[in-house]
Chain A
Amino acid sequence: MLDFESLTSSVSTEKLTLNESVFEQINKQIANQLNTGIMVLDSEFNIVVWNRFLQIHTDKVSVDILGKSIFHAFPELPERWLIRKLASVLQLNTPTFCSWEQRHHLFELPHTRPITTDSEFMAQNCTFLPIEDDSQQKFICILIEDVTDVCHYQSQLQKTLDELATMSRIDGLTQIYNRRHWQESLKQEFAKAHRHDKKLSLIMLDLDYFKLLNDNYGHQCGDMVLIEVSALISALLRVEDIFGRYGGEEFAIVLPETNLMGAIELAERICRKVAATSLVYNNERLEVTISLGVAQLSSYESSYEALITHADSALYQAKAKGRNQVCSAKCDETSILD
């Protein structure tokens, strides 16, 4: 199985007979002590050789395996696909591979870390090598490497990367989008709306008298209010709306394919909902209200920043007019609640 050609060639003919049997023994022992599965198939895909690794892991005995078709011995193998793959080895005389990244495993073998990993079967990298004997009879050698560890750590890493990606988008306190991700999304929606001539609206909103709330009840109370109000608003939005924490007690919602009327309607619903919900902190009822500014993208705005400015100045108007209300940027239309 191993290539000792270079060694044997330097040995004199006299010693060769003796050494060949030694080499054979060495080969056999190495093959049986390797932590890799070795299996050899003839050109009809019958198993002619297998090593100890496979014997132990399949918990089967050689009599039941040797001489049997690989598909008979391992019924879990995808037959049609594997026959085509094995055919390429025989016909092109080239190796072929099968990585755990595309197929977690071919052979259903147990592995040595059943408790510390979550996969049922041994993850495998398989190599199919063409081999020929002296009479030019063709065989296929299948090497099966246990890569359960690699697979496990790779999936842990992927999980961590996904978590990091989420964390980089989410505001830790309110669990809605953070400023950076929100602004990036607005930028994209702005470009899309411009390109396809679609409507786009923006709501900026701010908690009324938030500083006072913090001063009177403490920052923990302020945090609770931010969390509760974010949740209230989130529940009123469509999936495609992009809700983010703009800063401190200021929030913003991007509304794709929404005109000013639609945005005002939503803003008023949000305003009413927040005002009508009483929050409780340390057995005290808090009356929390918000002010909202609404703006719609118009064709002359060349940047998304301009849209923010318009919604922001509408928000300023809503504050100036007494808070707990919605103002819109374009028509200076106001709607006062209660």
Chain B
Amino acid sequence: MNKFHLTEDQQDCLQELINVAMGQASDQLARYLDTFVYLKVPSIESVDAKELLQSLSQQKNTMAIVSQGFFGYEGIRGEALLAYQEEDSGRISDLLGYEPGELSKDEQLIDISSILTTTFLNVFATQIDNQMSYNAPKLLPSVQNSLSEHLQQMTFNWDLALKVNINYQVTDYSFNCNMILLIPETAIVNIKNVLDRILAEF
């Protein structure tokens, strides 16, 4: 346990905030996409960079990863990674309500990623009286091993990261993807301050 780890109270508080945000986000998404969006209870863990690299590179069949940076007030920032499996992304243009020829596969992935990330984080930001801005989402080049490479090249240096794993499922379109929010060390301290403030207000 060091200053970057969440206490049990902080962890519970964050879990609760994320659960509420997820509920609202999935409701908004369902209305926009006109279909049910299932979200599993997210897992939150502190991971060190090495472990994270390992667990991510073990995920097989990952076809594409889209990365989008986010930043808000009070030093809350991080990067959202959305990982897609080959078999789960055949009908994204359908899901988004586009005609098949209207956009490329890459653009479909980027569009759905951006929608999932920003919808969730906007709601989450409201929960903590914050407001998020976003970078344009980027499709990471050739997935093979590139995820670990990408993590190594990330602009911020970190040994420890807060990893929030959220699974989105849209069964009507056999769509499934994983959102991983990576929050670097320095931003973890800022999140802890925010959590402490919320806990104190109870």
Q: Which residues of A contact B (CB under 8 A)?
A: 78, 80-81, 84-85, 87-88, 91-97, 99, 101-103, 125, 127
Tell which of B32, B98, B104, B115 touches A102, judged by Cβ atoms closer than 8 Å: B104
Cα A80 to Cα B122 with chains together (Å): 26
Q: Can you list 24 A-B contacts (CB < 8 A)?
A: A78-B102, A80-B99, A81-B98, A81-B102, A81-B103, A84-B98, A85-B111, A91-B31, A92-B32, A92-B122, A93-B122, A94-B115, A94-B119, A95-B114, A95-B118, A95-B134, A96-B114, A97-B110, A97-B134, A97-B136, A101-B106, A102-B103, A103-B107, A125-B136
Of B111, B122, B137, which is in contact with the most chain A CB atoms at under 10 Å from its CB? Answer: B111
What residue in chain A is nearest B120 (Cβ atoms)? Answer: A94
What residue in chain A is nearest B121 (Cβ atoms)? Answer: A94
Cα A10 to Cα B160 with chains together (Å): 38
What residue in chain B is nearest A94 (Cβ atoms)? Answer: B118
Cα A125 to Cα B111 with chains together (Å): 14
Of B98, B114, B137, which is in contact with the most chain A CB atoms at under 10 Å from its CB? Answer: B114
With contacts A93-B122, A97-B134, A125-B136 known, what are 18 further pairs, Cβ within 8 A?
Answer: A78-B102, A80-B98, A81-B98, A81-B99, A81-B102, A87-B32, A88-B32, A91-B28, A92-B32, A92-B115, A94-B122, A95-B114, A96-B111, A96-B118, A97-B110, A102-B104, A102-B106, A102-B107
Task: Determine whether the beta carbon of A102 is less than 8 Å from that of B118.
Answer: no
Cα A96 to Cα B102 with chains together (Å): 17
Tell which of A81, A88, A101 touches B115, judged by Cβ atoms closer than 8 Å: A88
Report B-chain residues with C-beta under 8 Å of the C-beta of A97. Answer: 110, 114, 134, 136-137
Report B-chain residues with C-beta under 8 Å of the C-beta of A96. Answer: 111, 114-115, 118
Cα A84 to Cα B138 with chains together (Å): 20
* B58-106 contacts to A (CB < 8 Å): 96-99, 102-104, 106
* B131-170 contacts to A (CB < 8 Å): 134, 136-139
Report B-chain residues with C-beta under 8 Å of the C-beta of A80. Answer: 98-99, 102
Cα A125 to Cα B135 with chains together (Å): 11
CB B40 to nearest CB in A, in angstroms, measures 21
Q: Using known A-B contacts A92-B118, A94-B119, determine if residue A84 contacts B136 with beta carbons closer than 8 Å.
A: no
Cα A99 to Cα B66 with chains together (Å): 13
Report A-chain residues with C-beta under 8 Å of the C-beta of B97. Answer: 84
Report B-chain residues with C-beta under 8 Å of the C-beta of A99. Answer: 110, 136, 138
Q: Which residues of B contact A (CB under 8 A)?
A: 28-29, 31-32, 96-99, 102-104, 106-107, 110-111, 114-115, 118-119, 122, 134, 136-139
Report A-chain residues with C-beta under 8 Å of the C-beta of B136. Answer: 97, 99, 125, 127
Cα A94 to Cα B114 with chains together (Å): 9
Cα A80 to Cα B96 with chains together (Å): 12
Report A-chain residues with C-beta under 8 Å of the C-beta of B138. Answer: 99
Report B-chain residues with C-beta under 8 Å of the C-beta of A93. Answer: 122
Report B-chain residues with C-beta under 8 Å of the C-beta of A87. Answer: 32
CB A34 to nearest CB in B, in angstroms, measures 17
Report A-chain residues with C-beta under 8 Å of the C-beta of B122. Answer: 92-94
Of B99, B104, B134, which is in contact with the most chain A CB atoms at under 10 Å from its CB? Answer: B134
Report B-chain residues with C-beta under 8 Å of the C-beta of A95. Answer: 114, 118, 134
Cα A93 to Cα B132 with chains together (Å): 12
Report B-chain residues with C-beta under 8 Å of the C-beta of A92. Answer: 28-29, 32, 115, 118-119, 122
What residue in chain B is nearest A127 (Cβ atoms)? Answer: B136
Q: Ordered nearest first, which 3 A-B pairs have the shortest CB separation?
A: A94-B118, A97-B136, A102-B107
Report A-chain residues with C-beta under 8 Å of the C-beta of B118. Answer: 92, 94-96
CB B181 to nearest CB in A, in angstroms, measures 16
Report A-chain residues with C-beta under 8 Å of the C-beta of B32. Answer: 87-88, 91-92
Cα A87 to Cα B31 with chains together (Å): 12
Cα A85 to Cα B108 with chains together (Å): 11
CB A78 to nearest CB in B, in angstroms, measures 7
Report A-chain residues with C-beta under 8 Å of the C-beta of B98. Answer: 80-81, 84
Report A-chain residues with C-beta under 8 Å of the C-beta of B107. Answer: 102-103
Report B-chain residues with C-beta under 8 Å of the C-beta of A94. Answer: 114-115, 118-119, 122
CB B82 to nearest CB in A, in angstroms, measures 14
Report A-chain residues with C-beta under 8 Å of the C-beta of B102. Answer: 78, 80-81
CB A91 to nearest CB in B, in angstroms, measures 5
Report B-chain residues with C-beta under 8 Å of the C-beta of A88. Answer: 32, 115
